[in-house]
Every structure is written in structure tokens, then in C-alpha cells.
Amino acid sequence: MIISAVVLYLLLLSHQTVSEEQVREKGENTILECLDQPVNTSSLLYRWKKNGSVVATQNPSKPSEHLSILKNGSLLISDLQYTDEAQYECESQTKDGSSWQTHSNIQLRVAGGPTNISLTIQPATLLQNGTLYVKKGSDVYFNCSSESFPSQNLTWTVEDLAQDNSEREFGKNSFLGFPIVNIQPGDQGMYTCTSQNTLSKTAVNKSQELLVYYAPDRHPECSWEMVSEPSDVLFICSWYGGYPVPTLDWHEVLEESVIAKGPMINSTSQETELLKVHVNRFILHDGEEVKCIGHHATGEENFCSFKLKMPYPVGDPMVTTLEGSNITISCTEDVSLPPAKTVWMQKDNKIINTTSKYIVSDNNPKYKLTIINVTKEDEGTYYCYSENPLGPRELEVYLTVKNSAANGGAIVGVFVSILIIMIGITIGVTLYSKRDRICIGLGFSQLDDDTGDVLSLVDSDEEEIFSDTVPRLPPVTNGHATTLVEIHRIPSTDHDNDNADSTVQTHPDQKEPVQQTADC
């Protein structure tokens, strides 16, 4: 290849007078040299031909500012223009008027540019430092142009900001635009458009840093953490997976006040994707909603929130057991937000720990207290005490301890139970048949005379606080306060057992016991 090219070049040389292409830039002052002159030049006259016609002589009648011949015969062209593109020949003649001899045969090419290189990336947003950003998933158009004569070679390259020096060439054109459909974070980088003049090989370039922003896919996560002081809570908000990192702030929804803005002084974490803030109970209220709002540079906003709730431990408020047995009382606390710390306590606010006497099991949300080998001294009130930063609330459980009957106690017990149920049914039927009187006249006394039963109406209400001596009725699970009837059997003279005082609690779900609804 190379040899044949050289041979071809030599052939061309031998055939023609020296014809050489020279490229010059527009606007410059250029010299075309008159070569291959004889050794003794002192007696020579010069002239230059352009495209075969004489355009410059050594002593012209009208001197031209554009074209002039130097002493050594070279042609000076000032402020080169595209119209100067032509074939130039230098000719010389001895002063005695011999024939003109050609020395140089120059093909002059004039190149211009590249100038005014401009690139546009749309649609994109300009940051203060001159960097552009686009949103992930958008269709982005890259456009580059420049001015160049006679033509140019435009090239887009991208230098990945993450991976150094990985270049991608997008094409060569005189005017180059290309799209990236559904742009991804991997497309972020330093985009450079290079324009090269195809004639002069002069190259200029322009670069633009492009970032691809995206908000996290999911909404922020709200959580909390208990801290050592029970009056404080750590609110945690995180919103990971976005670029750049978002800003976060905690609000009280009703008060419309900002609890904390991130990143902030009291945020324990350096990352702005995570905002932790210590909140004191004095600014929190039951039923209030707190909200963490995440703001992303792309303009996207998202939030998480939760409603603060006081603890509300529930469970059976009355428990009866036999002496010597083990009894487990339990309560459930699953409404508190943030979650409460729940313990079992005795009358004097003494926290009950697991000992040989008690087994405390904390199986959130169920809390159990097992009393081993119950004695009469264990009778009394136990408290299921729940506390969260909003405050404390407790469930009172009254434990009744009965003497274990000497022998056959169980059989007597069963007999007594059946008897009680029978009485219950009887009273039920009686009451039902006399329900008008009960409702209108509230004439309980009439019943008392006949049966010796005491009927007391107890209004079971969620918010009611019961004294130690009056046991609380089972909580109504379906949410409505119902009037329940509690029957105490007053021992009559023919019963020698002082333990006959037994209690039957009625429940809306059970059929046999007497139930008077409030709207009677």
C-alpha cells in the first residue's frame, strides 16, 4: 500500500509542474513562497498568476494592499478571504527580458473555523455552578453545531463521571443532534462536542456536565425509637434511594408547625436521607398526627405520617382463683403510638419482676403476670401500666382468691355453678316477664322481696375510672357501651357455706344471663 502510494506520488510529480496544496486560515496574512529559483537571483523579476491570469507584478502601476510581492519573490496575501482560493503560480524572468519561468504551483485552500460552537441539552435545568440536570426517565435531546468552512466533523463524546475515561462516540456529522430516550443514571457524565475543520484539522470543543436526578421510588419511612427518658421519643424519618439526597422535615399536622428540619443541628446522623429528632412529650398531644415530608431536588415531594395515641391497655378486670393454684392475668396494649412500655405493678406502684413468686412475660402486645401458689394475701388490685411519651394509662385487675374447699370442693363448686346458672335463668325469665315494670318503675324492691337477689345496673364505659373496691367489667369489644346486669347472690340462712357469695358476670355475647340494653 505505502509503496504503491509513493510510486503514484512520484509519477504525479514527474508529470506535472510542482503542484502543492496549501491550506491557510481565513483572515490571516499569508506568504506563498516562490521556490526552485536559480542560484543568482539578483537580476530576476517576479510575477504571480492566479488561475492562469496575472494578479501581481513586482512594480505594479496600482499597488494592491491585498496582494504584494516580496523582495525574494514570495507573494504576501493580507487578510485571506475565501475568494483567494485558487491555483497560484510564481514566475520569474531575468531583467534582460528572457522568457518567464514557473517556479511554484500552489493550490491554495482557505479554511474557516470552527467557530461559534454551541451545544444544547434539552430539556434540562441549570444549576448554579453551571451543571445541568435532567430527570431520570425523560427523553433528552443533545444538539451541537458550529460554523466551519468548508465543512466540519462533529463528534459527541461522554466521559462518565463515575468511570474515568470511558468515552462514547455518537457520530460524525456537520450538524449533530441525537436523543437519549428514557435517560438513566448511567448516562450521567461530562458531554463534550468536538468540532474539527475537515480541511485545516483545527478542532475546538465544548463540554457540559450533565447529572441525572431521581427521587426515591417509595415514600419516606416514619418510625420512632424509645430513649432512656420516658418523656422523650426519637422520631426517625428516612427516605433512601434518591439522587441527590433529599431534605426532610417533621411537622405537626394540626399545628402546622415544623418540629425539625433536616439536615439539622440536632439530627444525630450526617446523612440527610435520615432525620432523627428528639421530641419531648410537652409538644405532643393524643390523637395528633405527625408527618415527615421529604423534598427532592426534582420537585417531587412525599411523606409518611402517623397518629399519636395514648396507650390503652385492655384485659379482664376481674379474675378469681383458688388458693394454692397458679393464676395468669393478662393485658393487651396494641394501640399506643409510639409503642408504650408496659409493666405489671402492685398497689404501691412497685414494678413486679420475675421472681420465684411471679413470672412476668412481655410478649408484645400481650403482657402476662403469673402468680405462683396463690395465697389469700395475693388478693387485691394489680395494674397493667402502659406508658408512652404522650403519657401513662393503666388497667386495674382485681384478683379474688377463694379458699380451696376442704374436700370435694370441686364438686361443690360445680353444683354451686349449676345452681347459680339455674337461678340466673329463673331471674332472667322473671325479669323478662316483668320487663315493663323494670323499665318504667325501676321497681327492683319487688323482686328483692321474693328472691333475695340484688340487681345492680352497672354502666360500662371506656373512660370510667373504677375505684379499687368496685371491679371493672370486661371491656366491651364492639365499641358500644352496654348496660350490664350484675347479680350478687345474697346468702340465705339455709346455706352454711359463707363462700356462697359468687358472682356471675354477664356479657353481651352470652345468652342465659340477664341483659338489659340501655335503650329499654
Residue closer to ligand NAG (CB basis): 98 or 426: 98
Residue selected from 32, 69, 74, 427 as contacting ligand NAG according to rule CB under 6 A = 74
What is the chain's alpha carbon radius of gyration, rounded to the nearest angstrom? Answer: 51
Using the rule CB under 6 A, is 198 a contact of ligand NAG?
A: yes
Single out the residue of 307, 293, 310, 303 nearest to residue 254, CA to CA: 307
Distance CA 39, CA 34 (A): 13
Amino acid identity, position 445: S
Residue 202-221 contact track with ligand NAG, rule CB under 6 A, x = bound: ---x---x-x----------
| Rounded least distance, CB 288 to ligand NAG, Å | 18
Residue closer to ligand NAG (CB basis): 125 or 153: 153
Separation in Å, CA 155 to CA 54, 201, 273: 42, 13, 39
Using the rule CB under 6 A, is 280 a contact of ligand NAG?
A: no
Distance CA 462, CA 480 (A): 9
Residue closer to ligand NAG (CB basis): 32 or 431: 32
Residue closer to ligand NAG (CB basis): 88 or 473: 88
Residue closer to ligand NAG (CB basis): 211 or 304: 211
| Rounded least distance, CB 215 to ligand NAG, Å | 15
Do the beta carbons of residue 111 and residue 24 sit within 8 Å? yes
Residue closer to ligand NAG (CB basis): 155 or 515: 155
Single out the residue of 25, 63, 69, 30 nearest to residue 49, CA to CA: 69
Separation in Å, CA 277 to CA 76, 235, 332: 79, 5, 29
Q: Is the peptide bond before 114 cis (omega within 30 degrees of 0)?
A: yes
β-partners of residue 373 are none
Using the rule CB under 6 A, is 51 a contact of ligand NAG?
A: yes
| Rounded least distance, CB 399 to ligand NAG, Å | 15
Considering only residues 104 to 133 of the shown chain, the ones binding ligand NAG according to CB under 6 A are: 115-116, 120, 122, 127, 129, 131
* Three cell numbers, residue 519: 335503650
Considering only residues 324 to 363 of the shown chain, the ones binding ligand NAG according to CB under 6 A are: 325-326, 350-351, 353
- 153: how many CB neighbours lie within 10 A of its CB? 17
| Rounded least distance, CB 448 to ligand NAG, Å | 40
**Cα dihedral across residues 454, 455, 456, 458: positive or negative:** positive
Using the rule CB under 6 A, is 148 a contact of ligand NAG?
A: no
DSSP-derived secondary structure for 236-247: EEE--S-BS--E
Single out the residue of 397, 302, 390, 292 nearest to residue 352, CA to CA: 397
Which value, to the nearest 10 degrees, does the dihedral of the CA atoms of residues 85, 86, 92, 93 take?
Answer: -130
Single out the segment in contact with ligand NAG by CB under 6 A; choices: 6-14, 141-149, 302-310, 463-471. Answer: 141-149
Single out the segment in contact with ligand NAG by CB under 6 A; choices: 13-21, 78-86, 401-409, 465-473. Answer: 78-86
Single out the residue of 117, 142, 143 nearest to residue 202, CA to CA: 117
Single out the segment in contact with ligand NAG by CB under 6 A; choices: 153-161, 310-318, 495-503, 511-519. Answer: 153-161
Residue selected from 57, 68, 101, 157 as contacting ligand NAG according to rule CB under 6 A = 157
Do the beta carbons of residue 54 and residue 95 sit within 8 Å? no
Residue selected from 4, 40, 363, 469 as contacting ligand NAG according to rule CB under 6 A = 40
Q: Name the site residues for ligand NAG (rule: CB under 6 A).
A: 31, 33, 40, 42-43, 51, 70, 72, 74, 83, 85-87, 115-116, 120, 122, 127, 129, 131, 141, 143, 145, 153, 155, 157, 172, 177, 192, 194, 196, 198, 205, 209, 211, 265-266, 325-326, 350-351, 353, 372-373, 375
